[in-house]
A and B are shown apart, each in its own frame.
Chain A
Amino acid sequence: DAKTTQPTSMDCAEGRAANLPCNHSTISGNEYVYWYRQIHSQGPQYIIHGLKNNETNEMASLIITEDRKSSTLILPHATLRDTAVYYCIVRVMNSGYSTLTFGKGTMLLVSP
């Protein structure tokens, strides 16, 4: 899987938008960008994924640059419960299945 680079940590004020960047300059054409988050002592929670188009769901928006070398996860109105480690992962889809390789992620701290 392509390697990703994320900032180690970020801060965000409650109620503001949290924009989490991710670089994946070696991504291949068949690799999806996935975002997960992990709240302390819990399993990772799926947030969103995309291939080349921007995506939005009830949790977040995913903006992927046209060259697909980077992306941004946007939490539009961060709350204290969004404090977690956020993982950006690129995942290749082979015939059958593929797993997820976790990097170190970004620790997002949402403050009052």
Chain B
Amino acid sequence: GAVVSQHPSWVICKSGTSVKIECRSLDFQATTMFWYRQFPKQSLMLMATSNEGSKATYEQGVEKDKFLINHASLTLSTLTVTSAHPEDSSFYICSALGGNPYNSPLHFGNGTRLTVT
């Protein structure tokens, strides 16, 4: 089955630093990748959508200058949290769409737990 790998699985960083999270589709080409965020005891919230080779589309309320997304290839998208603050601590999850866009499920990575101290 389709596998999406996310790295790192957890990271602790100091306030003011930047953190990069990688999302790779291992056995398929992902024309579109999605980034979600999940706070404790809440559901997943879509942050942005990225298409290979073009700028990401951000959901309302998500700062594009703070959450930098790069989708440089059909198998790799990165999310960089810049100048992280404690309120950015969350569970970040990527997903990838491959195959027939009309009838293909999204496959998710296992998430990255970010803790900002």
Asked whether, in the complex, the Cβ of B43 is within 8 Å of the Cβ of A105, the reply is yes
Q: Tell me the A residues contacting B by CB distance below 8 Å.
A: 32, 34, 36, 38, 41-46, 49, 87, 93, 95-105
The 26 listed contacts between A and B (C-beta, < 8 Å) are A34-B105, A36-B108, A41-B113, A42-B110, A43-B6, A43-B95, A43-B110, A44-B93, A44-B108, A45-B108, A46-B108, A49-B105, A87-B43, A93-B103, A97-B31, A97-B32, A98-B101, A99-B46, A99-B106, A100-B34, A101-B46, A102-B43, A102-B44, A102-B45, A103-B43, A104-B43
- Within the complex, what minimum Cβ distance (angstroms) separates A61 from chain B? 16
- Cα–Cα distance between A104 and B108 once the two chains are bound (Å): 18
User: Which residue of chain B is the closest to A30 with respect to CB atoms?
Assistant: B102
Complex Cα distance, B32 from A95, in Å, reads 13
Q: How far is the CA of A32 from the CA of B104 in the complex (A)?
A: 10
State the 3 A-B residue pairs at the shortest beta-carbon distance, nearest first: A43-B108, A102-B44, A46-B105
Question: How many chain B residues touch A (Cβ–Cβ < 8 Å)?
Answer: 27
Q: Is the CB of A41 within 8 A of B102?
A: no
Most chain A CB neighbours (cut-off 10 Å) among B6, B101, B113: B101
B46 to chain A, nearest CB (A): 6
Is A46 within 8 A of B107, CB to CB?
yes
B97 within 8 A of A: yes
Q: Considering the complex, give the chain A residue whose CB is closest to the CB of B108.
A: A43
Which B residues, 86 to 116, have Cβ-Cβ distances below 8 Å to chain A? 91, 93, 95, 97, 101-103, 105-111, 113
Most buried by B among A49, A100, A105: A100
Supply 14 further A-B pairs (C-beta < 8 A) apart from A43-B4, A97-B97: A38-B44, A41-B91, A43-B110, A44-B93, A44-B108, A87-B43, A96-B101, A97-B32, A97-B51, A97-B101, A99-B49, A100-B34, A100-B95, A100-B106
By the criterion CB–CB under 8 Å, are A43 and B109 in contact?
Answer: yes
